[in-house]
Structure 1
């Protein structure tokens, strides 16, 4: 059915929804950067954002949760805009995009924990392994 056949009050302005999502996530990111402490005229990216707080809310931790929130917003918009039917992969279970995102995030958490246990703090190669894992999950699971 073409857009011309859909009544005017039922048309969805997808570009406006995309722009609103980008603006909202950009505003939250700008707020996080603004809230990052400044020390000696430069941003101290690893300093606590809430001094004396119960959790080490540093910019990298906040950025991690911002990325997760961005993924959830993106996948929600994709699920509404382009609905999909579940498919079976090598695990022989039906999965949707959201299921595969959850599986890849959960697997990435275990990969990072294992990397920290066996290799130590620099997680860059662990992150690369997580991206390969996520690509494999989205392709074959």
Structure 2
């Protein structure tokens, strides 16, 4: 192949991969909504999805794990499609996108625990702080 052909060559199949990942994740989310218990003709979003189970699998808990799985799928596809080079940020350590995702998730867990300890529920403002923290991590770390 000539240099001009290499420069204009675009890998094929990525649209299908993106679509397949989106369809699978959407189907998993639809299943979670479908599996949410119904009481008095309406969805009971906070009722146990597995009655008598060992863990409180409510819709918000399942949605939390769905979001984490979706992020992992997205970052895996991004790492394959657009290889990354580590960069040095404010912490003076080399980090990749995956490292920054891990740092932001871990920090967000501590922010939410602190919010619950000092302010209690609901966690909406804690979530806003977590999103700002994650944006800062991806920008400067």
What is the match of residue 9 of structure 2? 3
SS at match of 1:54: coil
What is the match of residue 87 of structure 1? 87
Across the two proteins, how many residue pairs are aligned to each other? 135
Deviations 1:90-122 (A, max 9, x none): 100000000000000000000000000000011
What is the match of residue 105 of structure 1? 105
Pairwise CA distance, 1:12 = 3.8
TM-score by length of 2: 0.94
| Deviation >6 Å, runs of 4+ | none
TM-score by length of 1: 0.94
The CA RMSD measured in Å over matched residues stands at 0.9
**Structure 1: stretches of 5+ with no match in the other structure:** 5-10
Name whichever of 12-21 and 103-112 sits farther off. Answer: 12-21
**Structure 2: stretches of 5+ with no match in the other structure:** 1-5
Alignment of 1:1-141 (within 5 A): 1=6, 2-3=8-9, 11-141=11-141
Structure 2: how far apart are the matches of 1:79 and 1:130? 24
